[in-house]
């Protein structure tokens, strides 16, 4: 298999390793809920082959959880001169570049799991239809600094719509 899509000579800034915990715990919870929910028909009806669904779901989630550390390592962002570049994904790799001037607003979100390990999620919203760039797993301090940097950069390069 060839190497993954990437920008040549890019120096990516990674996100906090602690984000692995958030991601893994989140997956674990969804995995358990879904597996239990899909196994209800098997338990109630006693039809053996219906068990295929919860079992395969369980396996998918276990593989997913095992891959979490690598997936978190694959998340990276980079502040270039005029734009913010963000990449994520192992299987489905996505690299996005957003000029600073396109910023409409910056959100900082903190879920319960994020809060437990002291992380934040930064959302960079543009006028585009797609949700924009979401950088997860930033330490709180970093997220706030990054937000201020981005706002300042966007202010200096303000563009229309």
Partner 1 sequence: MSDPREPAEPLEPREPLEPREPVEPLESVNATEPANLNTAEPAAPAVALTVPESARRLADGEWHRLHPATPFLRGGIAFVAIIGVIIVNARDVFLDTIFGGGSRELRFLERFAESSLIILAILAVLVILILSVGGFYLSWRMHTFRITDELVEVRSGILFRTNRRGRLDRIQGINISRPFLARLFGAAKLEVNVAGQDANVELAYLGSAGADDLRVAILQLASGTRAAEAAADAAAQAPTGVTGVVESRVNEFLAPELDPQAAPPESIVRISIPRLIGSLVLSEATIIAILVGIGIITTIIVTGDYGWIFALLPGFLGLGGYLASRLTRSLRYSIAATDDGIRVGYGLLSTTNETLPPGRIHAVEVSQPLLWRAAGWWEIKINTASQATSSSGATAKTTLLPVGDMADVHRVLQLILPSLADAKSRELLECGLAAGAHDDDYVTSPKRAAWLRWFSWRRNGFVLISDAVALRKGAIWRSLVLVPQARMQSVSMNEGPLLRRMGLAELRIHTVAGPISATIGALDRNDVVRFFDEVEHAAVHAAGVDTSHRWRSSGANTDSPAPTPREDNA
- With CB under 8 A as the contact rule, the residue among 15, 24, 98, 153 that binds partner 1 is 98
Q: Closer CB to partner 1, residue 94 or residue 115?
A: 94
For the segment 108-147, give every residue that binds partner 1 (CB under 8 A): 126-130, 132-133
Pick the closest to residue 123 from 150, 99, 101 (CA basis): 150
* 160 near partner 1 (CB under 8 A): yes
Instruction: Look at strands 13-14 and 83-88 and give their pairing.
Output: unpaired
- With CB under 8 A as the contact rule, the residue among 93, 109, 141, 148 that binds partner 1 is 93
Q: Closer CB to partner 1, residue 83 or residue 144?
A: 83
CB of 26 to partner 1, least distance (A): 23
* 82 near partner 1 (CB under 8 A): yes
Residue pair 18/45 in contact (Cβ under 8 Å)? The answer is no
CB of 29 to partner 1, least distance (A): 26
Measured distance CA(76)–CA(88) in Å, rounded: 7
Q: Distances from the Cα of 7 to the Cαs of 76, 80, 94, 101, in angstroms?
A: 12, 12, 11, 22
Tally of residues, the chain: 161
Residue 134: its H or E element? strand 133-139
For the segment 33-72, give every residue that binds partner 1 (CB under 8 A): none
Contacts with partner 1 by CB under 8 A lie at 1-2, 4-8, 82-83, 91-99, 101-102, 126-130, 132-133, 157, 159-161
């Amino acid at each position: 298999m060839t190497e993954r899509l990437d920008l040549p000579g890019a120096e990516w800034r990674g996100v906090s390793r602690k984000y692995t915990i958030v991601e893994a715990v989140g997956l674990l919870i969804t995995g358990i809920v879904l597996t239990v929910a899909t196994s209800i028909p098997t338990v109630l009806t006693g039809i053996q082959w219906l068990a295929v669904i919860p079992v395969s779901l369980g396996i998918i989630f276990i593989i997913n959880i095992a891959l979490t550390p690598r997936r978190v390592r694959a998340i990276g962002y980079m502040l270039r001169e005029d734009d913010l570049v963000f990449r994520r994904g192992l299987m489905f790799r996505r690299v996005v570049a957003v000029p600073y001037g396109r910023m409409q607003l910056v959100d900082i979100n903190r879920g319960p799991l994020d809060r437990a390990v002291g992380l934040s999620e930064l959302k960079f919203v543009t006028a585009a239809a797609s949700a924009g760039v979401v950088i997860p797993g930033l330490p709180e301090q970093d997220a706030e600094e990054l937000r201020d940097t981005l706002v300042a950069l966007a202010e200096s390069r303000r563009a229309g719509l």
